[in-house]
Amino acid sequence: MAHSSAEDAILAELRRKTWQTVLTPQMLSDPIQGKFLQNWSRMVQPRRILELGTYTGYSTICLAAGLDSKGSIDTVEPNDELNTIQDEFWEKAGIRRCIQRHNSEASAAMPSLKGPYDLVWIDADKPRTGEYVEQCLPLVRRGGWILVDNVLWWGKVLPSRTDGDATSKHLEYICAEWAKRSDIRTTLLPIRDGILTIEKIED
C-alpha cells in the first residue's frame, strides 16, 4: 500500500463509515483490492457490469471506474439494511443513476438478469461460488470477464493446512476443474484472499 496510489477520498470515507456502523466491516474490500477492481474496469471499459454481493457499495464504486458513459451496473445484495449507506456514497461518487440494485439472494436474482455483461464480480455466498459462476457464464459476452473473490479462503485451501472445511474443499475443487476447461481461461491471483480471473473465450 505504501508504494501504491492513495485510496480515493470517497472510498476512504466509505471505509471509515463501514467500520463505524456495520457489524462485520472486515468483509469490505481493502484498498489494494479496490485498486485492482478499478484498474481491471478501466482496462475492460465495460458497458454492462454484474456484481453479486454489494455490501456497503465500496466495490461497486471501484467497478464503475472504467464504466462506459452510457453503461449500467446490476448489483445484487440480500441485506436491504445497507441500502442507505450504499445510496449515500453512490450519490457522492456520481454513479447512482447507472446502478440497478436487486435486494435478493443471488440465486433468486439470477434467473431475471439478462446479458450480455462485459464484467462480473462475484463476492457472495462462498459455498455457492461454483453455482454462481456457471450461472453467470451464459450471461457474459465472449471476451468478457468474471472475477471471483475469496478463492484462497484465508489459506484453508492449502494442503498444508489442517483447518480446511467444506467451503475450502469446494473452492479448491472448482478452481482446479475450471483450469482444465477449453472454453475459459483462468488465472488465480494471490491478492488479499485470492481472486480468480476467468476470461470467457467460447460461447
Give 22-53 pLDDT, tens digit per residue.
Answer: 989 988 999 999 999 999 999 999 999 999 99
pTM for the predicted model, two decimal places: 0.95
Torsion sign (Cα): 39, 53, 95, 198: positive
Q: How many domains does the chain have?
A: 1
Range of the domain at 68: 9-200
Residue 2 lies in a domain: no
Average pLDDT over residues 104-128: 95
Residue 4 lies in a domain: no
Residue 22 lies in a domain: yes
> Would you state the pLDDT for residue 190?
95
Residue 1 lies in a domain: no
- CATH number, domain of 80, equals 3.40.50.150
> Would you state the pLDDT for residue 203?
85
Give 11-25 pLDDT, tens digit per residue.
Answer: 999 999 999 999 899
Dist. CA 47–CA 117, nearest whole Å = 8
Residue 189 lies in a domain: yes
Average pLDDT over residues 145-163: 95
State yes or no: pLDDT of 125 exceeds 90: yes
